[in-house]
Structure 1
Amino acid sequence: MDALANLLDGPRARGAFLLKVVLDPPWSIHVKDEATLALVTMTRGGGWLMPEDAEPMRVNVGDVVIARGPAPYILADDPATPPKVVIQPGDHCTTLWGEPLAEKLGLGVRTWGDSLDGSTMMLIGTYHMSGEVSRRLLDALPPMVIVPAGTWDSPIVPVLADEIVKDEPGQSVVLDRLLDLLLITVLRAWFARADAETPSWYRAHGDPVVGAALRMIYNDPAHQWTVASLADATGVSRATLARRFTDLVGESPMAFLTDWRLALAADLLQEPDATVGSVARKVGYGSSFALSAAFKRVRGVSPQEHRKTLVAQH
């Protein structure tokens, strides 16, 4: 397992908002939903992406937009077209004056717009997750990313387009998994770009020694790893592993292990039946007291305070 795999294995999509949008020009949508992450796939026509504090960016057929929230942005047929529709928190669609539009613009199951034959068609999926495991990955992305058509190849988009309009038993789970697959495919393509500013811990996965150590930490965070045991498992000396790991990742093996364990703990604490003791055992701490002490030392709050904050946010 690696950091990308953990995006799917940890805080995966759960009842994500998915929609097929079909429009004829002029059209302009002001997205203010405060979603943690959104994917917009242009499947017909084209448009413009206008972040709040950046220049407009062209979106062509086959391009995928990754918008890292909660900053608002505008999608439009032309930068000069003023917004006519607002997507509010909770994925509520309204006019600029707050009047509901969901019924007026509804075109069928998870389909919205002004015409089924509209010249522009987009598939939109939004995550409202707040998991800490994914934060390390999401923080590596610019606020807005456009992954151009031709830089990635996957059959997922046609499948998602077909499934998004179905109303079958278990359909929300099918769509969640398809959205996860689309996200991981697009992120992998983005990080593979020569000009992508990939984080050091991601690049380090390609190193035969450090990559192996990272995978062991990811696969078994509860194991009582030491620099010596990691070095022995990777076939190098402790000094070599410590130096190479720090050079490539930017922090020592034990510091990375601690950060990863606490990130996992922060995510696991979102589960309603989890206790601090059960989470502690899953991430390698011998007791709830040991986890609480480490959590407060590194994050400034106790696990219980962290959980209360998560509950308040939802």
Structure 2
Amino acid sequence: MDPLSEVLSLLKLRSYVSGGFDAAGDWAIRFGPHEGIKFHAVVAGSCWLSVEGELPVQVNAGECFLLSRGLPFSIASDLSLDPIHVSQVLPPNPSGRILSYNGGGDYLSIGGHFTLAEGQADLLLQVLPPLLHVRDQLGSATLRWCVERMRQELAEGQPGDFIVAQQLATIVLVQALRFYLSGRKAENPGWLFALADKRLCAAMAAMHATPGERWTLQTLARVAGMSRTAFAVTFKGTVGLSPIAYLTHWRMMQAADHLVSSRCSLAEIGSAVGYDSEKSFGAAFKRVMRCSPREYGRRQGGKGGPMLRSGPTSSSTHTGG
């Protein structure tokens, strides 16, 4: 599995399509704060998008936008209009289908959101800008096709239509991230931008595939096909962390996932991510996650996750990063 797929799987990404908005004439709709990542894909017409703290942008047919910081925003046919809250245009019992406003026909968009695993969502959200505008460009045929298929699923009312629409929304997110990587230079360092460099991506894929391996700077540089110094400098400049610091961070993300999705002991989880003792694993976990593994397990266990069990220490020869 490639690094981006690994991260999205770890974050328990779930997509939800809330429905479509079909409008005509003059209109302006305001949306409040939100969790996770909001998305809107414009099928026909165009709109002005205003996000708190950002300059307004025009979003045209075939384009979409992602909002990753939960900021209030509004969409409108004209920036001079005073927006009304979305609750004022929704029917009393919204069905999640396409909502018509002023008779519709001029503008159509599909909207929804993505949720991420609590406690680990920052792994993705911190490397995304508050507003990600994916413009119509060469190679975006897949995105346009997905959006059109979502529209058809919502309009036709076939069995299983929302499941299909949600899967299509996930493809829209991945396509948007791909365009973001290929279309602009990183304003701030982050792991996402390392995926655009085949050498760094190879090293990240190796760390993700076998986090319990006895990785060193030298062995990771060899995987990347670079000298030790060049690899260390390039990785730190692109990701914002040293290779070993990133490895430790990824190990703790994996461990956190094990703590809420398995019934393994702390020693077993620590061994799986490269630590030869429960003590060294606990110290590394607390340094990265700002709480002990047991505290994390109890906190998440109260939300429906499995509770930790105690068990014998595994005899591992791995060392922690």
TM-score scaled to structure 1, two decimals?
0.79
3-state SS of the aligned residue for 1:176? helix
- Aligned pairs (5 A) from 1:59-138: 59-86=59-86, 94-95=87-88, 101-103=90-92, 106=94, 110-114=97-101, 117-131=104-118, 135-138=122-125
Partners of 1:43 and 1:304 in 2: how far apart? Answer: 48
CA distance in structure 2 between the aligned counterparts of 1:308 and 1:262, rounded to whole angstroms: 16
Q: Is the 8 A contact 2:24 2:101 kept in 1?
A: yes
Which letter maps to 1:11? L
> Deviation at 1:10?
2.6
- Find out whether 1:182 has 2:172 as its counterpart: yes
Paired residue secondary structure (1:102):
coil
5+ long unaligned stretches in structure 1:
87-93
CA distance in 1, matches of 2:265, 2:91: 42
8 Å CA contact 1:33, 1:70 repeated in 2: yes
Q: Which residue of 2 aligns with 1:90?
A: none
* Displacement of 1:44: 1.1
Q: Which of 273, 276, 288 is equivalent to 1:298? A: 288
Aligned-partner SS, 1:19: strand
**What percentage of aligned pairs have identical amino acids?**
28
Distance in 2 (alpha carbons) for counterparts of 1:181 and 1:70: 21
- Shift of the 309–20 alpha-carbon distance from structure 1 to 2, 3 Å rule, reads farther
Match of 1:226 in 2: 216
Correspondence 1:256 to 2:243: no
Q: 1:91 maps to which residue? A: none
CA-to-aligned-CA distance 1:146-179 (integer Å, 9 cap, x gap): 1111253312222222223455555444333211
- Secondary structure in 1 aligned to 2:61? coil
Alpha-carbon separation, structure 1, partners of 2:175 and 2:274: 31
**Matched residue, 2:127:** 140
Conservation of the 8 A alpha-carbon contact between 2:22 and 2:104: yes
Q: What does residue range 215-294 of structure 1 map to in structure 2 within 5 Å?
A: 215-234=205-224, 238=228, 241-271=231-261, 277=266, 279-286=269-276, 289-294=279-284
Which shifted more, 41-50 or 293-302? Answer: 293-302
Structure 1 residue aligned with 2:48: 48
Does structure 1 residue 197 correspond to structure 2 residue 187? yes
Q: Where does residue 5 of structure 1 map in the other structure?
A: 5
Contact persistence 2:181–2:193 (CA under 8 A): no
Distance 1:168 1:59, change over 3 A: same
Q: Contact between 2:36 and 2:114, CA under 8 Å: does it hold in 1?
A: yes
Q: Deviations over 1:250-301 (max 9, x none)?
A: 4322111001112333455454x55563654553345655443212122322
CA contact (8 A) 1:52 1:72 kept: yes
Instruction: Give the drift of 1:16.
Output: 1.9
Task: Say what the alpha-carbon RMSD is for the aligned residues.
Answer: 3.3
SS in 2 for 1:16: strand
State the structure with bigger RCO (CA 8 A, min sep 6), 1 or 2: 1
Q: Do the aligned partners of residues 270 and 177 (structure 1) sit closer, same or farther apart at CA in structure 2, a change above 3 Å counting? A: farther
